[in-house]
Structure 1
Amino acid sequence: MKKVLDTVDQRTQLVGENRLELLLFKISATQLFAINVFKVKEVVKLPTLSALPGSNSNISGVANIRGMSIPVINLRGAIGFSPMPVSEDCNLIITEYNRSVQGFLVGKVEHIVNMTWSDIMPPPKSAGANNYLTAITKLTENDVERLVSIIDVEKVLAEIIDYDISLSDGVLDEQLAEHMPGKKVLIVDDSSTARKQVRDTLSQLGIEIIEASDGLQALHYLQKLTAEGIDVTTEFLMIITDAEMPEMDGYKLTSEIRADEKMSALYITLNTSLSGSFNHAMVEKVGCDEFISKFQPDLLVDVVQKRLKTLLSK
């Protein structure tokens, strides 16, 4: 445990290189699960929990971590299995997603593995639309191959936290609103929940949404359009892309687009649950136009309006 904790903060430099590191853990006797280390603040033994009356059934309670009250989500229960019994053998993975801090109650925390996004595969279509995975991968250690299931944490949180897509008063510019119907936005995100949040927000404005579930799929789609003679820089108002995705992450996608003269002028907004100055530095490095952290409907609309206003002024 101490070894895992000591290395978590040193593992973020791989983002932007189409690489990631996964924290492996168990919530059952055999199956191996993972989340991206970049989302992990720390891992601790499960402290004493305080009850939270009236909370979601998958909230096991509240933990006090150095003076901060953190809701603890029973991850096994939240992804459709029977809830994990709370015991002294449990661990708490403390994460930060979408500007909120929460803990995930898990069993054994194993170790960290270094991988490339090209090693990460979407879950099989046979898993259905209601599964709680964004991706899967295979891990070979000591000549033993194991399947690793990567949790769609955004879906888990969306079912526990009520995300409101309504806009604050005064956010929508009525003069710009009349120009929005029919405009196209390409959304790139491996989480179907995250795509739905963006889609439902922008569809209110009459914007047509095209979706891709990873960076490579989006790049191939754009290349297909350009091969057909379509100018994608005018076809789309913008691209809104996640940072972390199977096959190709959002940083690599942006770099590939900027390197192609037929699409280099595309307006790209990075929309990610990761936050902090590191992301802003990566935005500058790869050439994104905007960065916003999930999920903020007002900021999404503001970015769209800013882009549209620029186009209309030309």
Structure 2
Amino acid sequence: MAGVLESVNQRTKLVGENRLELLLFRVRGKQLYGINVFKVKEIIQCPRLTSLPGSNRVVRGVVHIRSGTTPILDMSLATGGPPLEEVNGAFVIITEYNGATQGFLVASVDKIINMNWEHIHPPPKGTGREHYLTAVTEVENHIVEIIDVEKILAEVSPVKEDISEGIVSDDVRTEAGKKKVLIVDDSKIARKQITRCLENIGVEVVALEDGKQAWEHLKGIVEEGDRPQDRYMMLVSDIEMPEMDGYTLTTHIRSNDAMQGFYVVLHSSLSGVFNQAMVEKVGANDFIAKFDPDVLADNIVSRINHG
């Protein structure tokens, strides 16, 4: 697996093309799961794990990689299944989410595939399987389930969700009551976190689940003879989403004459040195890494003060 990941320069060519690369893996049995390659730092054979007393039961232990300590989460346990028993011969997918590094213990790693977000869809409702999923797709006649990693991490290591005192003044709260913000995110937990943060500032929130929904909503506003920038103070959009990603949504917005001047912030757990370059490439106004309520609140307050 040493050469399985392509270089950052190669992967950034996907930006704005509504494409992604999925790393396929198995947790148990034959079911295939997927994770965006942008989140993956490396893939290793499972090393010897050091137990961490008092940790969440999903954390099987820690490993020391390049002078750093990385927690290893059992992907089967994390998604409501039994623990992975055959650790010898298993793999660890080292990932970076929200600026933190963690590994996911999986039974096997399959391959990387290049896909269009149009072929990735929200999970079917009412099956019970969507609880830990953000999307599903089909590869070579096999269903691939894309796991809501943000939900897993929020359960294993809950993040601070309250805004610190002093960030939002009374004057800002008064002005915020006149503002409305459109947010787009396919993760239920992320939508709740963002909505709570913005509502605590005082702004009205409209929340949608993916870029395609958002684009249809924005086009509908224009068809009504209005402009999104007149209805919303700003758009806060995730990047990874089924149907249409945040990069492509931003590209569409920037190519529409009626939406010129609409303030767009990309808000994502994607990390890396390429983020600012990608923001500039698609024409977004800013990038915020998930999820820090103070950083998000600062951005909203600045927009209220200067927007």
TM-score class normalised by the smaller sequence: over 0.9
- For the pair 1:206 / 2:202, whether they are aligned, the reply is yes
1:18-37 aligned at under 5 Å gives the runs: 18-37=18-37
Mapped contact 1:8–1:41 kept (Cα < 8 A): no
Mapped contact 2:122–2:242 kept (Cα < 8 A): yes
Cα distance in 2 between the residues matched to 1:154 and 1:163: 11
When normalised by structure 2's length, the TM-score is 0.95
Report SS of the residue matched to 2:259. coil
Q: Percent identity?
A: 46
Mapped contact 1:22–1:112 kept (Cα < 8 A): yes
The change in CA–CA distance for 1:66 and 1:86 in structure 2 (over 3 A counts) is: farther
Q: 1:12 aligns to what?
A: 11
Unaligned runs of 5+ in 2: none
The change in CA–CA distance for 1:9 and 1:230 in structure 2 (over 3 A counts) is: closer
Cα distance in 2 between the residues matched to 1:183 and 1:248: 26
Q: In structure 1, what residue type is equivalent to 2:30?
A: T
1:127-166 aligned at under 5 Å gives the runs: 127-128=127-128, 131-140=131-140, 145-166=141-162
Q: 1:285 aligns to what?
A: 281
1:25-81 superposed Cα distances (whole Å, 9 cap, x missing partner): 001111000100000000001111111111111110111112211001001110111
Q: 1:56 aligns to what?
A: 56
1:221-262 superposed Cα distances (whole Å, 9 cap, x missing partner): 111122122332121111000111111111110111111121
Q: 1:272 aligns to what?
A: 268
1:103-114 aligned at under 5 Å gives the runs: 103-114=103-114
CA deviation after TM superposition for structure 1 residue 9, in Å:
5.6
1:86-126 superposed Cα distances (whole Å, 9 cap, x missing partner): 52111000000001100000011011001011111111122
The change in CA–CA distance for 1:119 and 1:209 in structure 2 (over 3 A counts) is: same
Cα distance in 2 between the residues matched to 1:164 and 1:150: 25
The change in CA–CA distance for 1:129 and 1:170 in structure 2 (over 3 A counts) is: farther
The change in CA–CA distance for 1:175 and 1:186 in structure 2 (over 3 A counts) is: same
Where in structure 1 do 4 or more consecutive aligned residues deviate above 2 Å?
1-4, 6-13, 126-130
The change in CA–CA distance for 1:129 and 1:222 in structure 2 (over 3 A counts) is: farther
CA deviation after TM superposition for structure 1 residue 199, in Å:
0.6
CA deviation after TM superposition for structure 1 residue 3, in Å:
4.2
- For the pair 1:173 / 2:169, whether they are aligned, the reply is yes
- For the pair 1:258 / 2:257, whether they are aligned, the reply is no
The change in CA–CA distance for 1:7 and 1:269 in structure 2 (over 3 A counts) is: closer
When normalised by structure 1's length, the TM-score is 0.93
What is the aligned-residue RMSD (CA, Å)?
Answer: 1.6
Question: Number of residues paired by the alignment?
Answer: 306
CA deviation after TM superposition for structure 1 residue 156, in Å:
0.8
Cα distance in 1 between the residues matched to 2:134 and 2:258: 31
